[in-house]
Structures are given as C-alpha cells and as structure tokens.
Amino acid sequence: MQIVDIVEVTKPIASPIRNAYIDFSKMTASLVAVVTDQVRDGRRVVGYGFNSNGRYGQGGLIRERFRDRVLSADPKSLINDAGDNLDPHRIWAAMMQNEKPGGHGERSVAVGTMDMAVWDAVAKIAGKPLFRLLAETYGVEADPRVFVYAAGGYYYPGKDLSALRAEMRGYLNRGYTVVKMKIGGASIDEDRRRIEAVLEEIGNEAQLAVDANGRFDLETAIAYAKMLREYPLFWYEEAGDPLDYQLQAALADFYPGPMATGENLFSHQDARNLLRHGGMRPDRDWLQFDCALSYGLVEYLRTLDVLKVHGWSPKRCIPHGGHQMSLNIAAGLGLGGNESYPDLFQPYGGFPDSVKVEQGYITMPELPGIGFEGKSDLISVMRELAE
Ligand SMILES: O=C([O-])CC(=O)C(=O)O
Ligand SMILES: [Mg+2]
C-alpha cells in the first residue's frame, strides 16, 4: 500500500467582500489530491483536501518541500502497525522532517491541506465515514448531529442595512439559528446600526455573533465591548491581534458575555499560550482553531490534548473554516459545532447535497471518507485534479 502521487492546484475563491482586515478580491485556495495505489468499490482511492479561506493557496510550499518528503519516504514507513492503512501521524512526521519548531508562518496551511487529503484517503481505505473512524479510534461516541452557524454579514460595496437584513433572513429561512456578521470595518456608530438592524430582523428566531477579525487595539476593543455588552450576542470574536493574549485577557473585565478566538493560531503551542495567558473562560468562551490552517488533524489532536490539560471541554470548540473536515471532527470527537458560509467560498465549503440544516443542526451522511463525494460541485472539481 502506498501513496503514488500528490497533486496541488491553486484555485481562485475571490469575492468582492471585505472584513475589518482584508478584502477577498484576490483570495485563493490550494486543492490537493493524495493518490494511492488502493482500489475500493472499483475506484482508485484518492484523498482530497483544501485550505480554508482567509489564508492563500500554498502551492509553492507544497511543491517545493512537503510533497517530495512524502513521496520520497520509504512507503513502508508511512503505514500503520497493522499494515492495513496509511498512518496520518507517520505521514505528518515525514512532511515535518527538517522543520524547526516555532515561527509557524504559513507552512501550517500547506501541511494542514495535505493532512486533510491524507485523512480522507485513510477513511476511504477503511471504508468508513471519517467521523466514525475517529470516534472508534479515540474511544468517543460519535454524534452525527452537528450544530452549525451561518457566517456572513461582510462589508460589501453598496450593501445597505436592508441588504444585510435580507442576507440574515436568508440564513434563517435555510434553518440556521445562529448567524454571524463582521464588525470593525466601519465606525462604531455605523456598526451599532448594523447590529441593531440585524437583531431587529432575527428577533427571537436566532442569535447573532460578531467578528472583528483582529482589528482592534485594546482601547477600541474595550469601546466595542461596552457597546456590544448591551446586546445578547452569541459571541464577540477576535477583537484584537490573534497573538495579543494580554489584550484578550484584559477584555474579559469589560465583556461578561461569551468571546471567541483562535482561527489564526496555527499550532498546539500557540493554542496553549492562548489558554495559559489569554484569560479565556472555559464556562462560556469559544475556541475556533481550524485544522486546515494549522497543520491538520494530527496537530489538532495535540491541541485537544492541550485543552484537556487546561480543563477545557472539546464542546467549547467551534472551528473556523466551514469545511466538511471539521464537521467530521465535530461529529467524531465531540466538538461543539462548526462554522458554515452558506453563500461564500463555493464549491469548497458547505455540506453534501442531501444535507439540510434543521433548527441549527445538520446530520452527517454515512459517506466513506470526509464526504466530498456527496457534494456534486465539489467532487467534480476534485476529480479534475486527480482520480
Ligand atoms: O473573514 C474571514 O477571514 C473569515 C472569518 O474570520 C470567520 O469566518 O470567522
Ligand atoms: Mg473570524
């Protein structure tokens, strides 16, 4: 059993939206195929992966370093002890040989994208949905029902309050019970008007989360906290720089409600620093580490170990990224849910075609692997790359 090729293509996922920090006019994503010599149900097993929005495609790093390390490793060194499947941990170690610790940069995105494809292949070889394989491997009871929320509410040229309300109404109509909008890309007064408009639209049918994308200094973060705490928000996300743990800790004195952060922390060491120094409260706050940006599930398992040591439940994790990989981790390892972008970043985000959001939850279909084969627009792009 062996990996015979790894292919990458960088695809545009551009859109005219903007958050408080970046616009998405030139956004790209890497799509990766891990091609194996295995055949299941008459078809060659190919695992697929991609990185989440917000970081760009990683074709350079994948082609120059990580692909060749896997392909030039002794194939036997990448197999599990039972000899019946690839071993994601050994493949990860092969990718990361000769890499110094720390300074994670964006190599974590390259590795995370390839790691997603490896897990897809592994679950297909095992003939099981990834969430079932994870639950069995790690002794957790799988729960195919996963909470999802609708992320959007971006700044968009010419978008007025009625368009923002219509967007949120659209999410409610599709079954979501929590919606998210951007803040920090306009004046505080304008953001307050946007928030009030959305709250008026959703009434008691749903809750609202807000996301500042790391834009604020401490003073601005506190000014917003004082404004936001007047409303019953689902969470206040990424107020300040993702590595400014002291800012995050100081903010808790001004914001008693739930806060969320972590989508831009790319290693278990950075996650540990957040838990050590960021003043995050395990009874109400949310952790958004996204495996596709942060060295993949092999590393995310280490992050979950860090959580345990610091007294956090995996239920406090609702990853960033809106991909099916995190849906599987949520269903298989007991996370609190997953992000979803109903109108953005297609065909990569979202659910298999048969899946509907009902009262804020989806139910995972029983598809081998991550489940990409169930999403027709996505699998056709993937199969163009390799099959
Ligand atoms: O706008 C982005 O970069 C995405 C983001 O923060 C989120 O989904 O939470
Ligand atoms: Mg965010």
**Tens digit of pLDDT for each residue in 35-64?**
999 999 999 999 999 999 999 999 999 999
Q: Among all ligands shown, which has an atom nearest to the Cα of 20?
A: 1
Query: How would residue 97 be classed by pLDDT, with cut points 50, 70 and 90?
Result: very high
Q: Among all ligands shown, which has an atom nearest to the Cα of 54?
A: 1
Closest CA to 172 of 149, 154, 144, 195: 149
Q: What percent of the chain stands above pLDDT 90?
A: 99
Give me the pLDDT at residue 85, please. 98
Find the 313 Cα to ligand 2 centroid distance in Å. 21
Q: Has residue 237 got a pLDDT over 90?
A: yes
- The CATH number of 3-127 is 3.30.390.10
Q: Has residue 105 got a pLDDT over 90?
A: no
Give me the pLDDT at residue 104, please. 87
Q: Hey, how many other C-beta atoms are within 10 angstroms of the C-beta on 169? A: 16
Closest CA to 296 of 104, 138, 19, 146: 104
Give me the pLDDT at residue 313, please. 98
Find the 322 Cα to ligand 2 centroid distance in Å. 11
Structural element, H or E, at residue 332: helix 324-333
**Mean pLDDT value across residues 86-109:** 96
Q: Is the CB of 290 under 6 A from ligand 1?
A: no
- The structural domains of the chain, with segments of one domain joined by +, span 3-127, 137-386
Asked whether this chain's domains 3-127 and 137-386 adopt the same fold, the reply is: no
Instruction: Provide the annotated active-site residues.
Output: 182, 320
CATH of the domain spanning 137-386, picked from 3.20.20.120, 3.30.420.40, 3.40.30.10, 3.40.50.1820 = 3.20.20.120
Residue-averaged pLDDT of the chain: 97
Find out whether 326 and 332 touch, Cβ atoms under 8 Å: no
